[in-house]
Structure 1
């Protein structure tokens, strides 16, 4: 009898486990895909099964965009792009194209550091609704399962080898940074370092990010999401449709603002426009609040409108200090302008770029900030170093591997199964995100 009771208990536990396993995803993969595709505002939804010809493509809301965006497989040391049918590395265990059908959407592909990842080339979406920048709202959703190293998951994000004035970062989801094992929602106004004026360790990296307060383990399907709401000026990170509040002490942000108190990290305040290669924020260096009374000096460079605007925080400075900005342009190490542009500036000062400023991709923009001692001072003391920013076309939309991680390192990056990625042109509500999390 004891054996029978024990056997019954085992059966009960096994049956409960089967029931739990079968109820993890309440919808079939086809039903789940239809639910995502039906949400208004959909720019792109890749399930890595839907294809146009041999090439993976995206589903979309025809009221938002008029076509899908193709996805190609990549290996970091190979500049060619491939479809699943012509992927040439199937004999290499590190680079094999593999699928996992256990996820909510039914066909996840494996990303393995730099050995195998995927991208939408920039030329396929530049200046389309997928190229989200400025003060445009966004929602980015991914369904993933990590199996090893955790880093970047999906988005428009090129680290630029971590130079303080390099990189082409817009927005992206990560699976654990800043000591976290949760969702990280990164966003950038500069495309480069968030705080180049800081000398704290880590100041070469992007620091504008929401950190969700809920951790999750490897080997588990999760829905990661981020939103940027330009009205509330916040970035929010979500795990399985829920945003868990978080506070965080960031040593770089602390070095800039000088306060040791933990700051709200989810949602995270973001008052800037999102980076675009044609319109971006350029921050100066060589100052700190204790000495200058200024947290931030910056230029908003708008190459489309051919205009530059100066700003600083706070607007008022100690003892009425005045500033001047010079702008120059270089091509192949030669100055393009007959003479640098030189403008005295106050917060909100905006000036046009002259006709001679006929920029091209690959040129370098140089900006220098001067502190003036008197109104009659036409020279001034340079603040920090001249800032040089290469004018580069935008980054691709990548899956499973951020570009620019210190060069070509195949062993650096994320190990993750990606079941789907969706981008929307609006802020999805928590209830909408929870509806498409497909997890319990």
Structure 2
């Protein structure tokens, strides 16, 4: 399917919250399309626009240590919480080779330092014998999983996400299960994808986590940086099904 058709399916979808295509130049706010025109703010200097795009001629090139921030008070429609919480988060990414291996946050409301975790799409979580896969982190408590130093409640796929190639990565939560997808396909893994989690999502209230793209707040500072190109990011307010996600590659 052409990327114009994919764009139309996204922007016309009745459950869309916000869609960023990252066509703006470095130094500009990245403005969302859809019912909520939320603007992502660059952090740690201008984020380069490179001539290699998914939904246009360009994408945003995040160097290690850069990220986008969207203050919590500015994006109430992204605050998914409670027993009835449901969402889909999709990103079009081209991750780069790195000397160090560290989990990479793509997007979500996930503040580990202040124990205000809600949801976040990751790559490379090193838990449950995992490495390079797509991960959909969910938390009902905001803090670490009892008996562990970290939050362990996550859907993790089976397939490594290769470097220096474009991929569509996604995760959904429907109030009962978290699921992760790679290139439009549910990446089934026994026990971990789908991942049973009927507890719902943490309610951080007015002082909860910001929506961050390319990093999360942890260990008292920003970290878990994504390094590479980001060609698109879409958030929906329900869990899209397998057929819908297959049409958004």
Q: TM-score, normalised by structure 2?
A: 0.88
Take 2:179 and 2:18, find their aligned partners in 1: how far apart are those partners? 20
1:71 aligns with 2:40: yes
Task: Report if aligned partners of 1:47, 1:419 keep a CA contact under 8 Å in 2.
Answer: yes
Aligned position for 1:123: 73
Aligned position for 2:48: 98
Aligned position for 2:195: 268
CA change 1:110–1:218 in 2 (3 A) is: same
Take 1:409 and 1:133, find their aligned partners in 2: how far apart are those partners? 23
Task: Give secondary structure in 1 for the equivalent of 2:136.
Answer: strand
Take 2:217 and 2:229, find their aligned partners in 1: how far apart are those partners? 18
Task: Report if aligned partners of 1:400, 1:416 keep a CA contact under 8 Å in 2.
Answer: no
Q: Give the superposition deviation at 1:40.
A: 1.7
Greater share of residues in helix: 1
Take 1:158 and 1:34, find their aligned partners in 2: how far apart are those partners? 33
Q: Give the superposition deviation at 1:131.
A: 0.8
Take 1:186 and 1:59, find their aligned partners in 2: how far apart are those partners? 25
Aligned position for 1:146: 95
Structure 1 segments (4+ residues) deviating >4 Å: none
The root-mean-square deviation of aligned C-alpha atoms, in Å, is 2.1
Q: Which structure is higher in RCO with an 8 Å CA cutoff and minimum separation 6?
A: 2
CA change 1:210–1:400 in 2 (3 A) is: same
Aligned position for 2:215: 401
Q: Give the superposition deviation at 1:113.
A: 3.0
Which runs of 5 or more structure 1 residues have no equivalent in the other structure? 1-25, 62-66, 76-88, 90-95, 161-165, 248-263, 279-391
Encode CA deviations 1:359-416: one digit per residue, 9 max, x unaligned: xxxxxxxxxxxxxxxxxxxxxxxxxxxxxxxxx7011111111112x23467x62212
Q: TM-score, normalised by structure 1?
A: 0.51
Aligned mate of 1:42, from 2, 13, 16: 16
Take 1:111 and 1:167, find their aligned partners in 2: how far apart are those partners? 26
Which runs of 5 or more structure 2 residues have no equivalent in the other structure? none
Bigger Rg over Cα = 1
CA change 1:433–1:50 in 2 (3 A) is: farther
* Aligned pairs for 1:313-328 within 5 A: none
* Aligned pairs for 1:244-323 within 5 A: 244-247=187-190, 264-278=191-205
CA change 1:34–1:50 in 2 (3 A) is: farther
Encode CA deviations 1:205-229: one digit per residue, 9 max, x unaligned: 1111001112221111111111111
1:430 aligns with 2:242: yes
Aligned mate of 1:213, from 158, 161, 166: 158
* Aligned pairs for 1:230-241 within 5 A: 230=175, 233-241=176-184
Take 1:50 and 1:39, find their aligned partners in 2: how far apart are those partners? 23
Take 1:32 and 1:102, find their aligned partners in 2: how far apart are those partners? 17
Task: Report if aligned partners of 2:43, 2:68 keep a CA contact under 8 Å in 1.
Answer: yes
